[in-house]
Each structure stands twice: as C-alpha cells, then as structure tokens.
Chain A
Amino acid sequence: MTFDYRLLVISLIIQISGNVMLGLNVAASGVLFVVASAWNMLGSPFDPCFGSLALGLSPSEVQPGQLFGALGVVDSLSQWFLAAPLYAGVFSATLAWYPPAIFLVTAITLTTVAALVALLRLPRNVSA
C-alpha cells in the first residue's frame, strides 16, 4: 500500500506540473503543448493506484464490489453533473483573454486532490 501511495503522489506531481506547463504556455507554442500533454499522460498510473489504495484502505466489512460501485456513483455525479458545466463555463469565460487558464484551474484542483491525499492515514503494518 505504501508503494501505491508513493506512486499516487508521483502521478499527482506529474499531472500538476504538466497542467502548470500547459497553463503557462502564453505563446501557445505547439511543441510545448505536445510535450506538456505527453508529460501529463505519464501521470496515468493515478487511477489504478488509487483503486488499489482505496481497496486497501476500506474496512473489512466493506466488500470490494460495494466500494467500487460507490466509487462509480461518485464518478457519475462528478463526470456528468459537475465536470461538463464547470469546465465548459470556465473555458468559455477565459477563452477571450487567456485560453490556457483552464489548465491552471485543473492544476489548482489537482493540488486540492494532493492535499486530500495527504490526509489519508495508512495502516502502519502494511508494506507493499
């Protein structure tokens, strides 16, 4: 579980830095955009690590199906009810004066995620 946690943190750092790079691309450089978005994708292990960590942190009375089903509900709520209007609203509001602002918003959100991840308390006797 410690490995999951460390990999999660590394993935978050990669994603935050990638989004900051994209967000600070004032000149709209194509090369920087491709490099930063590719770097961003190197943070992909976030999802599998997070699933594994969530399973490890769940108490014994919670079955894996229950946990992932509940996470699926959270996914749907976030993805379909909030993500689309929020990001579309921010993007359309900032498009005229600073188009990459949306990536800075993403970086800020991911920093909040990192702060929340820091609040997780791992059991002490688990190694991998």
Chain B
Amino acid sequence: MPFKVAVAVHSVLVIILLTILPESLSAEVREANVKKLAAEREAQRASDSSLVKRCLRRASAPLEPLRIFLPKANASFVRGDYNLTVVAAVEFLAVLTRVGTNTRQLAYYPRVSMLRNPNMPFLHWGGLKRSLGRTFPLWICVKSRCSLVSCLVSTSSECYLTRSTGAIPATDLGQANSQQPARPRAAVPVRARANRADSAAADRR
C-alpha cells in the first residue's frame, strides 16, 4: 500500500511539474544558452587533436559542472572568492549526514527500549512485529510534523522579510518568462531570485 501511495503522489507531482510550474529560464536566455553551449563544444572539438584527449574530456564530462566551485579572483576579496568552494564542501557533508542519519535512525529504531520492554502493552497485542507496525507510523508522523512546522515557519518568515525589505520588486516574477503564468511572489523566494538573475543576465546581453 505505501508504494501505491508513493506512485500516486509522484504522478501528481509530474502533472504539477508539467502544467503549473513555470520554466525557470526565459525563452531568450534558454536560446542564448543553447547557442553558447554549441559554440563551446565546437571550439573544444577543434582543440582536441588526439584521441586520448578526446576520451579524457568525455570521461570527465560528468564532473564538468563542478568547475564553478573553483575559487576565483575577485576584487572584493583579498585571497580570492572561496565562497562557492565552501558551499560545495558544506553540501557534500550535509548530504552525507542527512542520508546517514535517516537510514541509521530507521535501523536503530527497533533497538530502543520502548519496543524491547515486555511490560509495554502493545507487545501483548501481537508481538514485536505487530508493535513495530503500530508505533512506527506514529514516530514517522511526529517527525514529519516537526519538519513541516519548521519549514513552514522558516519559509513564511523569509517571504515576509523579502517582501518587507523590498529585496525583490513586485513585478519581477512573470517578467522573466512572459509566456508562462505568473506565480504568487511569496511562494518560492529562491525561484524569484533565480528569475531576477535571469532578467539581469538577459539585460547584460
């Protein structure tokens, strides 16, 4: 049953992605990106003289996006801009702990004394296996409620702050991609910033 629910939820997600969520890049920016990428590939093909070089480049292609994390010389920083390098390191370790913690909590769950204690009433209802079935959803519910509350509080505070400080102009969303329906500004601040960055990039071009 849980798998069927997961399939149903993901199906709804696919529909939402295809129909409601707008493209993060405007059509002009996308077109410019395609042209830029084609030019870069052409230049690389021309520079690859030997077969070994070509093979090496193709093998390292999946790691190519990581180049943006290399420290850069920046006028604002004396020793170079290491911010994105630090961001990558933080992401690496944070994902490591997230995966580890969740799976290990699941593995550790049956060991806690609530389940091993023979005096606990639910153990008399059908043994350890059944008690797992009864208490496990409760634990997951408690965890998910806490996560939901904290995320709601944090994102709504961020939206309020973004609006009150005027960090994003009211007409910014929807301008970047005029073919798509505009979304409420407070919904996703990250996306709003992304659109603003796209508009700025298009203006520069």
- Asked if A78 contacts B96 (CB within 8 A), the reply is yes
Interfacial chain B residues near A62, Cβ < 8 Å: 68, 84
- Asked if A70 contacts B68 (CB within 8 A), the reply is yes
Residue in A41, A66, A83 whose beta carbon sits within 8 Å of that of B146 in the complex: A41
Query: CA of A77 to CA of B144 in the docked complex: distance in angstroms?
Result: 26
A119 to chain B: closest residue by CB: B86
- Asked if A79 contacts B99 (CB within 8 A), the reply is yes
- Quote the shortest CB–CB distance from B185 to chain A (angstroms): 14
Interfacial chain A residues near B200, Cβ < 8 Å: 60
Our count of residue pairs bridging A and B at CB distance below 8 angstroms stands at 216
Name which of B33, B93, B153 has the most chain A CB atoms within 10 A of its CB.
B93
Interfacial chain A residues near B88, Cβ < 8 Å: 70-71, 74
- Asked if A128 contacts B167 (CB within 8 A), the reply is yes
B125 at the interface (CB under 8 A from A): no
- Asked if A73 contacts B63 (CB within 8 A), the reply is yes
Residue in B84, B97, B113, B197 whose beta carbon sits within 8 Å of that of A113 in the complex: B97
- Asked if B150 contacts A52 (CB within 8 A), the reply is no
- Asked if B113 contacts A30 (CB within 8 A), the reply is yes
- Asked if A41 contacts B101 (CB within 8 A), the reply is no
Given A65-B25, A74-B66, A120:B83 Cβ within 8 A = yes
Chain B residues touching A, majority SS: helix
Chain A residues touching B, majority SS: helix
A2 to chain B: closest residue by CB: B161
Query: CA of A31 to CA of B200 in the docked complex: distance in angstroms?
Result: 52
Query: CA of A59 to CA of B77 in the docked complex: distance in angstroms?
Result: 13
Give the interface of A toward B (CB within 8 A).
Answer: 3-4, 7, 11, 15, 19, 22, 25, 27-31, 33-34, 37-60, 62-67, 69-71, 73-75, 77-79, 82-84, 86-87, 91, 99-100, 102-103, 105-106, 109-110, 112-113, 116-117, 119-121, 123, 127-128
Give the interface of B toward A (CB within 8 A).
Answer: 24-25, 29, 33, 62-63, 65-66, 68-69, 72, 74, 76-77, 81-84, 86-97, 99-101, 103-105, 107-109, 111-117, 139, 142-147, 149-151, 153-155, 157-158, 161-162, 164-165, 167, 189-190, 193-194, 197-198, 200-201
Those 7 A-B pairs whose CB atoms lie nearest each other, nearest first? A30-B114, A87-B100, A45-B154, A64-B194, A41-B146, A70-B65, A83-B99
